[in-house]
Amino acid sequence: MRAKNYFVGAAFALLASGMAHSALAEDIKIGEINSYSLLPAFTEPYRKGWQLAVEEINAAGGINGKKLIVVSKDDGGKPADAQTAANELVSSEGVAMLTGTFLSNIGLAVSDFANQKKVFFLAAEPLTDAITWSKGNKYTFRLRPSNYMQAAMLVEAASKLPAKRWATIAPNYEYGQSAVAVFKKLMSEKRPDIQWVDEQWPPQGKIDAGPVVQAVAAANPEAILNVTFGADLVKLVREGNTRGLFKGREVVSFLTGEPEYLDPLKEETPEGWIVTGYPWYSIKTPEHDAFLKAYQARYNDYPRLGSIVGYQTIKSAAAILAKANSTDPEKLITAAEGLSMPSPLGEITFRKIDHQSTLGAYVGKTALKDGKGVMVDSSYKKGADYLPSDSEVEKLRPKD
């Protein structure tokens, strides 16, 4: 038993030595957490994006003259580990705010931590509506367009389709479930004549695509809503192409236009799907041109959506810190509420009412060009236009 405590001592000595290095008083530190080891396909471009932002901010003189430092931690895809990381960042690194996270449950775990410890948290990527609405709290803000907003953008296009018989395929976890639920609700409001003829819920990351495709085809829908992404999407598309599932059917699909998920499909890219995404090759605005040029010059690679999210997360954090001119969480909240700022996709505002940013997304159609998947006929949908009315939001969000 005695040896046990030698180990305790050694472990803590190790930890303590890791904490010894402290930043200079005039630096501002931001703590960043993401699922680097679990989801490298998204988080690598994301990391490049925020690193570019940090370099730009410091080259331009930092935040009110203070140097910006981002301390980044991996959560391994586990909410409990994300909290350990958050705790380290707040307690021993002394960061001014927390940012990042990808998975919805991790975003919620960190948001709850932020609420409990009274720390400012800017969620980058988690899409769940709960983070700003049903489980929203005053310390948490979110950058990316939520599930609801993306569903509303897709419904706008989908409701114009003649199809009446719809089937859904979505990963069996909260993201898939709420995406389907919101889509169905908004769609049925606009088109009461629609029938939902089949739903498939493959486990996330473990789709057995053949039987799923057959089952959907057997219900003979006129249109399909897809929410799967990543490796599941690849399997679904391959089986669907071979078995002719998509022939003569409209498909509406969440996230598929993002380079992270579209590019791996290469020549198997299905054509004509209505998708949300990020067609970096066809965005012709000065703000995006500037970002694209800087990104390509820095990394000799093209940006993914993750790059935009990482870049804008740190840019937003810096803008909030600069306006507050303080690291006090209450002052940061006051500064962030209603704050507008430029982004590569146009101006965005962090809404006071629910702390959601008005960053939008591109909606377009998939096409095949030179053996690669691209988005065509795409147009930018401003986030502000796809949120429910203020009175509805107030009902959704608990009072602080």
- Identify residues 282-341 at the interface with another protein (CB under 8 A): none
Q: How far is CA 280 from the centre of its chain?
A: 17
* Per CB under 8 A, 27 contacts another protein: no
| Interaction mask 141-180, another protein, x per CB under 8 A | -------------------------------xxx--x---
How far is residue 363's CA from residue 381's CA, in Å, rounded to a whole number?
7
Q: Which listed residue (29, 48, 66, 73) binds another protein by CB under 8 A?
A: 73
> Among residues 367, 374, 390, 355, which one has the least CA distance to residue 138?
355
* Per CB under 8 A, 273 contacts another protein: no
Q: Which listed residue (23, 58, 67, 84) binds another protein by CB under 8 A?
A: 84
Choose the binding region for another protein from 3-11, 274-282, 350-358, 362-370 (rule: CB under 8 A).
Answer: 3-11
C-alpha angle with apex 303: 103 to 232, nearest 5 degrees? 45
Residues 106-145 that bind another protein (CB under 8 A): 108-109, 112-113, 116, 128, 130, 135
* Per CB under 8 A, 202 contacts another protein: yes
Residue 88 or residue 125: which is nearer to another protein going by CB?
88
Q: Is the Cβ–Cβ distance between 122 and 317 less than 8 Å?
A: yes
Residue 95 or residue 339: which is nearer to another protein going by CB?
95
Which stretches does DSSP call E strand in 304-371?
A: 340-341, 348-349, 361-369
* Identity of the amino acid at 251: V
* Per CB under 8 A, 228 contacts another protein: no
How far is residue 117's CA from residue 230's CA, in Å, rounded to a whole number?
34
Q: Determine the angle formed by the axes of helices 209-218 and 231-243, rounding to 10 degrees.
A: 50
Q: Which residues pair with 31 in a beta bridge?
A: 71, 98
Three-state DSSP class for 164?
coil
Choose the binding region for another protein from 23-31, 142-150, 213-221, 381-389 (rule: CB under 8 A).
Answer: 213-221
Q: Is the Cβ–Cβ distance between 213 and 247 less than 8 Å?
A: no
* Per CB under 8 A, 195 contacts another protein: no
Choose the binding region for another protein from 79-87, 148-156, 182-190, 327-335 (rule: CB under 8 A).
Answer: 79-87
Q: Which listed residue (22, 91, 325, 340) binds another protein by CB under 8 A?
A: 91
Q: Which listed residue (163, 215, 294, 367) binds another protein by CB under 8 A?
A: 215
* Per CB under 8 A, 18 contacts another protein: yes
Residue 43 or residue 316: which is nearer to another protein going by CB?
43
- In angstroms, what is the minimal distance from the CB of 219 to another protein? 9
* Per CB under 8 A, 218 contacts another protein: yes
Q: Which residues pair with 225 in a beta bridge?
A: 168, 252
Choose the binding region for another protein from 34-42, 308-316, 336-344, 385-393 (rule: CB under 8 A).
Answer: 34-42
How far is residue 95's CA from residue 119's CA, in Å, rounded to a whole number?
9
Q: Which residues contact 21 (CB under 8 A, 6 or more apart)?
A: none
Number of chain positions touching another protein (CB under 8 A): 83
* Per CB under 8 A, 281 contacts another protein: no
Choose the binding region for another protein from 73-81, 148-156, 275-283, 284-292 (rule: CB under 8 A).
Answer: 73-81
Q: Determine the angle formed by the axes of helices 305-324 and 329-336, rounding to 10 degrees.
A: 110
* Per CB under 8 A, 15 contacts another protein: yes
* Per CB under 8 A, 80 contacts another protein: yes
Q: What are the angstrom distances between the C-alpha of 313 and each of 342, 369, 387?
A: 12, 32, 21
Q: Which listed residue (61, 203, 338, 342) binds another protein by CB under 8 A?
A: 203
* Per CB under 8 A, 79 contacts another protein: yes
Give me the torsion for CA of 36, 42, 44, 49, rounded to 10°: -120
- Number of H helices and E strands in the chain, helices first, is 13, 14
* Identity of the amino acid at 72: S
